[in-house]
Chain A
Amino acid sequence: MIQTFAFYLFAFFVIASGVFTITSRNPVHSVLWLILAFFNAAGLMVLVGAEFIAMLLVIVYVGAVAVLFLFVVMMLDIDFAELRGGFIKNFPLGLAIALVLLAELVLGIGAYRAGSLQLGVADGTSAGLAGESNTANIGVLLYSDYIFLFEAAGIILLVAMIGAIVLTYRERPDGARGHQNITKQNMRRPEDATIMTRPEIGKGVEL
Chain B
Amino acid sequence: MEFANSFYFTAPEVGLTVSGLILLLVAAFVGQKTTRLITILAVAALFGAAAFTGNLLTNSAFELGADAWGGLYRMDAFGSFAKILIYLATIGCLIVTPKFFEQTAEYRAEYPILMLFGAVGMGMMVSASDLMTLYIGLELSSLSSYVLASFIRSDMRSAEAGLKYFVLGALASGILLYGMSLIYGFTGSTSYIGIRTALEGGVSAGSMFGIVFLLAGLAFKISAVPFHMWTPDVYEGAPTPVTAFFSTAPKVAAIAMTMRMALDPFGGQIEIWQQIVIFAALASIIVGALGAIGQENLKRLLAYSSINNVGFILIGLAAGTEQSASAMLVYLAIYVAMSLGSFVALLMLRDNDGNQLETFADISGLSVTRPALAWCLLALMFSLAGIPPLLGFWGKFVVFQAAVEADMILLAAIGIAASVIGAFYYIKFIKVMFFDKPADVVVAEKSSARWVVLGLCVLFISPLGYLATLKLGEFADRAASALFFII
Interface residues of A (CB under 8 A from B): 117-119, 121-127, 145-149, 152-153, 155-156, 158-160, 162-163, 165-167, 171
What distance in Å separates the Cβ of B295 from its nearest Cβ neighbour in chain A?
29
Question: Which residues of B lie under 8 Å from residue A126 when comparing CB positions?
Answer: 184, 188-189
**B136, A123: Cβ atoms closer than 8 Å:** no
> What are 30 A-B interface contacts by the 8 Å CB criterion?
A118-B205, A119-B204, A122-B186, A122-B188, A123-B187, A123-B188, A124-B198, A125-B188, A145-B69, A148-B10, A148-B69, A149-B132, A149-B133, A152-B136, A152-B137, A155-B17, A156-B139, A156-B143, A158-B117, A159-B114, A159-B117, A159-B143, A159-B144, A162-B24, A162-B110, A163-B114, A163-B144, A163-B146, A166-B151, A167-B147
- In whole angstroms, how far apart are the Cα atoms of A158 and B205 in the complex? 39
**Is B120 an interface position by the 8 A CB rule?**
yes
Partner of A123, one of B72, B117, B186: B186
- In whole angstroms, how far apart are the Cα atoms of A124 and B204 in the complex? 10
**Is B150 an interface position by the 8 A CB rule?**
yes
Question: Which residues of A lie under 8 Å from residue B114 when comparing CB positions?
Answer: 159, 162-163, 166
- In whole angstroms, how far apart are the Cα atoms of A118 and B209 in the complex? 12
Give A153's nearest chain B residue, CB to CB. B136
Question: Which residues of B lie under 8 Å from residue A162 when comparing CB positions?
Answer: 24, 110, 113-114, 117, 147
Question: Which residues of B lie under 8 Å from residue A166 when comparing CB positions?
Answer: 108, 110, 114, 147, 151
- In whole angstroms, how far apart are the Cα atoms of A125 and B69 in the complex? 22
Besides A124-B198, A163-B144, 20 other A-B contacts (C-beta < 8 A): A119-B206, A121-B205, A122-B188, A123-B198, A123-B199, A124-B187, A124-B194, A126-B189, A147-B69, A148-B72, A152-B136, A153-B136, A155-B17, A155-B117, A159-B143, A160-B143, A162-B147, A163-B114, A163-B146, A167-B153
- In whole angstroms, how far apart are the Cα atoms of A158 and B72 in the complex? 22
Given A159-B143, A162-B110, A124–B136 Cβ distance below 8 Å?
no
Partner of A146, one of B72, B139, B204, B205: B72
What distance in Å separates the Cβ of B49 from its nearest Cβ neighbour in chain A?
15
**A123, B203: Cβ atoms closer than 8 Å:** yes
Q: Which 5 A/B pairs are nearest by Cβ-Cβ distance? A: A124-B198, A163-B147, A126-B188, A125-B188, A124-B188
**A122, B206: Cβ atoms closer than 8 Å:** yes
From 159 to 200 in chain B, residues with beta carbon under 8 angstroms from any chain A beta carbon are: 162, 184-189, 194, 197-199
- In whole angstroms, how far apart are the Cα atoms of A161 and B487 in the complex? 42
- In whole angstroms, how far apart are the Cα atoms of A166 and B150 in the complex? 10
**A122, B185: Cβ atoms closer than 8 Å:** yes
Q: Per-residue 0/1 for B277-297: is the Cβ within 8 Å of any A Cβ (1 yes, 0 no)?
A: 000000000000000000000
Q: Per-residue 0/1 for B112-138: is the Cβ within 8 Å of any A Cβ (1 yes, 0 no)?
A: 011001001000100000001100110
From 13 to 29 in chain B, residues with beta carbon under 8 angstroms from any chain A beta carbon are: 17, 24
What distance in Å separates the Cβ of A154 from its nearest Cβ neighbour in chain B?
10
What distance in Å separates the Cβ of A66 from its nearest Cβ neighbour in chain B?
20
**Is B140 an interface position by the 8 A CB rule?**
yes
Give A150's nearest chain B residue, CB to CB. B136
What distance in Å separates the Cβ of A175 from its nearest Cβ neighbour in chain B?
11
Question: Which residues of A lie under 8 Å from residue B133 when comparing CB positions?
Answer: 148-149, 152
**B150, A167: Cβ atoms closer than 8 Å:** yes
Question: Which residues of A lie under 8 Å from residue B147 when comparing CB positions?
Answer: 159, 162-163, 166-167
**B143, A152: Cβ atoms closer than 8 Å:** no
**B73, A122: Cβ atoms closer than 8 Å:** no
- In whole angstroms, how far apart are the Cα atoms of A125 and B188 in the complex? 4
Give B71's nearest chain A residue, CB to CB. A145
**B189, A149: Cβ atoms closer than 8 Å:** no
Question: Which residues of A lie under 8 Å from residue B184 when comparing CB positions?
Answer: 126
- In whole angstroms, how far apart are the Cα atoms of A163 and B73 in the complex? 27
